[in-house]
Structure 1
Amino acid sequence: MEPFDLHPHRIRYDNRFVNSPGHRRVRSVAPLPPEKCAYALARYSRSPDSIAESLEWVRSHDSEKFLESYYFQYGHASIADLGHLVLCFEGISELAATEIEDEPLWDGQARSSRYQDFSRCGMVTPPEFDPTQAAVYDGAARKLLAAYQKLHAAALERLREELPRPPEMEGNAYERALRARAFDVARYLLFLGVPTSVGQVTSIRTLEKQIRRLRVSDYAEVREIAREMAEACAAEPDCVWEAGGIREPLAPTLARHVDADEHLRRSREDLRRWVAQNLPPAA
């Protein structure tokens, strides 16, 4: 018997696609709904079919049924890493944005406090506040925003004095650069109730963990956002790139499996009890 050749450049593959006409080793796939993408790639790993054949299979089979069985019942968690969703959050507090972003496997961008003016954006009032608390909060927030605006103007004036425009630099570019430097100074007066926006791209698996975590947040705003995230997964997308683009729900199966993370809730309660019993109260 001829010995098997392990040299990487001479290895011979027993694969029906290698010698097929028009075969390419790298194939790109256009975007498709997240759960269907996860189904297609999961099936691709479990069959000898090409990716084109796997996609055709998915067209005529139920991705929800597959995910219910293999991901949620059998625990094949890596399947949910194969489908990704884009969610955007608008008009949320900086506090909520921080909670949303506190996810280990997270990709996203928040509204930049270096390049945008927050002085007229108002504030997000915590829904837990009663009218008296809300009035105190409103007054403090307005003072901070006024101070932020004043500090930005002062920093901008000082920067113009200290850093005159180089002859080779256009006036608009110079002003943008100085304004950004001034915002970088003033932004430390912004508080956690300032409205902001966040855009994120996550896998179905990460999104499931994120929603379950946010549902046990200490903050009512964050819990409401978690509920809206689940609703968004079960609904048609609000924004599409092309007319006639994807109009089906992006992650309807996921939306049925995002109950509150009770283990996390109990862990926090246990920690609070331990602190109350073992650490002295703050002076």
Structure 2
Amino acid sequence: MADIFIVDDQGPEATAMLQALYSRSDESARKHLEMVKERGSAKFMESYYVGYGHASIGDCGTTTLFVEGLSILACKAVQDNPLYSGQESSTRYIDFSKQPIIDPIATDASKAILDKWMDFYLGALEPLEAYLKTQFPIGEGEKERVWQNAIKARSFDILRGFLPAGITSQLAWTTNLRQAADKLHLLRHHPLAEVREIADGCLAELRKSYPSSFGHKDYPETEAYLARTAFKTNYLDADFFGADQPDLSFSTTVDNAVLEAKELDVIEGRPQRTNLPRYLDGYGQYTCTFDLDYGSYRDLQRHRNGICRIPLLTGERGFHGWYLDELPGDLRTQAEALVAEQYAAIAALDACAEDKQYLYPLGAKVRCQTVYSLPQMIYVIELRSQNTVHSTLREVMHWMHAEMIKHHPRLTLHTDLQASKFDVKRGTQTIVKREQMDA
């Protein structure tokens, strides 16, 4: 009978080494664990790690980094990794009105732009909540606290469009040691100075905690290459697309005749909450190009499988109309004038496009492109079409659904195709003590 046990009371490096020794020793990890406890993890690592010869040992030890006071732009840079696991502050549930804002341009003109965005955000919160309460009155049997939370969440949904991308947030990143080293090595060459500083800061902390795992040698040729390709590695900008690129574009390399001939029993009749098997990745990809506000792009980027590059945040695509449509008349008039004024002021600044991103609002439209396999497409469409998802992203998911059905008429899809509506259940999607929710 197999001997099964758990080791979760050792540091990441020692745990990694315990796993790695399976490839070099037939002794039980129980014996190696005794050695760790007798000698200490540092001595144990000194004895074994250097001579192992494989970077993969770093895959076996995990750690969690907490980064606070970084811009939303920097959050996206850290999370731009198919192996990222972690969490970030949500603009849909948290009042960002008191958060500091990072301004790399640091002029009177740039400060004035940021102040105007925040003045509108602050001034609109109370009247918008009052307006929404008239539009969505509390229903019979609904709890007051839950309804209030749902109204507040709806307000944040709308007003997040006017938050500048330089607003600060916080994130947690759970990663294995090798992935941390690889990702941070790339981020040291990021176009944003803030991101480069975060990379250096994370590496400094990791070297202090795990000296045996972060003594990697740098090669000048590699560093030069990473510096030369840094912009393309990190941003998708308008130059990537042709002048005749339509606002909506869908293409696929998946041959439906072949797919149905071989996999009809797999793609048809799939029950809800069940993923397609991963081997279907081999049938090809789907490339979707569309406009989306930067705030909802952030939600889409959370799906790490496939390709969803970070768009360069500019004013070229305009401002998403949904954020204006949801405001009462007087606030809408004020918001329309503000957006026009702010976009012109940002364009007039003497600064590079990368730094101007900090001043554009999350409601700014960006051109996005996703490249997914069949299982990835289905997963994203079904999850991000649910009513609790932001309306602007749901609209894109509904378009993707229609394209998939057009290309694969016998494919089972459990997409929520109902129009977006206010749902008091949004008020339960929070993290509080149970007795507070019961009140």
TM-score by length of 1: 0.73
Contact 2:97/2:122, CA 8 A, preserved across alignment: yes
Percent identical residues: 29
Q: Quick one: which of 220, 240, 244 aligns to 2:193?
A: 220
Task: Say yes or no: does 1:147 pair with 2:126.
Answer: no
Once the two structures are TM-superposed, the CA of residue 142 in structure 1 deviates from its matched residue by: 1.0
Moved more, 41-50 or 103-112: 41-50
Match of 1:69 in 2: 51
Once the two structures are TM-superposed, the CA of residue 134 in structure 1 deviates from its matched residue by: 2.6
Once the two structures are TM-superposed, the CA of residue 77 in structure 1 deviates from its matched residue by: 2.9
Task: Say yes or no: does 1:138 pair with 2:100.
Answer: no
Contact 1:39/1:66, CA 8 A, preserved across alignment: yes
Match of 1:83 in 2: 61
In structure 2, stretches of 5+ residues that fail to align are 244-315, 317-439
Task: Say yes or no: does 1:172 pair with 2:145.
Answer: yes
Task: Say yes or no: does 1:207 pair with 2:180.
Answer: yes
**Relative to 1, partners in 2 of residues 1:254 and 1:139: Cα closer, same or farther, differing over 3 Å?**
farther
In structure 2, the residue corresponding to 1:148 is in which secondary structure?
helix
Aligned equivalents of 1:180, 1:112: Cα separation in 2 = 10
Contact 2:86/2:173, CA 8 A, preserved across alignment: yes
Which string of whole-angstrom CA distances, capped at 9 and with x for unpartnered residues, describes residues 168-204 of structure 1? 2221221111101110111121222101101110011
Contact 1:211/1:258, CA 8 A, preserved across alignment: no
Match of 1:31 in 2: 9
Aligned equivalents of 1:38, 1:233: Cα separation in 2 = 15
Moved more, 85-94 or 44-53: 44-53
Task: Say yes or no: does 1:195 pair with 2:168.
Answer: yes
Once the two structures are TM-superposed, the CA of residue 53 in structure 1 deviates from its matched residue by: 1.4
**Relative to 1, partners in 2 of residues 1:269 and 1:181: Cα closer, same or farther, differing over 3 Å?**
closer
Contact 2:190/2:231, CA 8 A, preserved across alignment: no
In structure 1, stretches of 5+ residues that fail to align are 1-17, 19-23, 236-248
In structure 1, the residue corresponding to 2:94 is in which secondary structure?
coil
Contact 1:39/1:58, CA 8 A, preserved across alignment: no
Contact 1:90/1:196, CA 8 A, preserved across alignment: yes
One-letter amino acid matched to 1:83: G
In structure 2, the residue corresponding to 1:92 is in which secondary structure?
strand
Q: Quick one: which of 68, 71, 77 aligns to 1:93?
A: 71
Q: Quick one: which of 90, 94, 101 aligns to 1:116?
A: 94
In structure 1, the residue corresponding to 2:49 is in which secondary structure?
helix
Aligned equivalents of 1:69, 1:93: Cα separation in 2 = 40
Contact 2:35/2:44, CA 8 A, preserved across alignment: no
For these two proteins, the number of residue pairs brought into alignment is 232
TM-score by length of 2: 0.48
Q: Quick one: which of 34, 55, 58 aligns to 1:56?
A: 34
Once the two structures are TM-superposed, the CA of residue 117 in structure 1 deviates from its matched residue by: 0.6
Aligned equivalents of 2:217, 2:123: Cα separation in 1 = 45
In structure 1, the residue corresponding to 2:68 is in which secondary structure?
strand
One-letter amino acid matched to 1:47: S
> Where does 1:231-246 land on structure 2 (aligned, <5 Å)?
231-235=204-208
**How large is the Cα RMSD of the aligned pairs?**
2.8
Which string of whole-angstrom CA distances, capped at 9 and with x for unpartnered residues, describes residues 79-122 of structure 1? 11100011000111111111111112110111111111111213
**Relative to 1, partners in 2 of residues 1:269 and 1:234: Cα closer, same or farther, differing over 3 Å?**
closer
**Relative to 1, partners in 2 of residues 1:230 and 1:269: Cα closer, same or farther, differing over 3 Å?**
closer
Aligned equivalents of 2:8, 2:230: Cα separation in 1 = 43
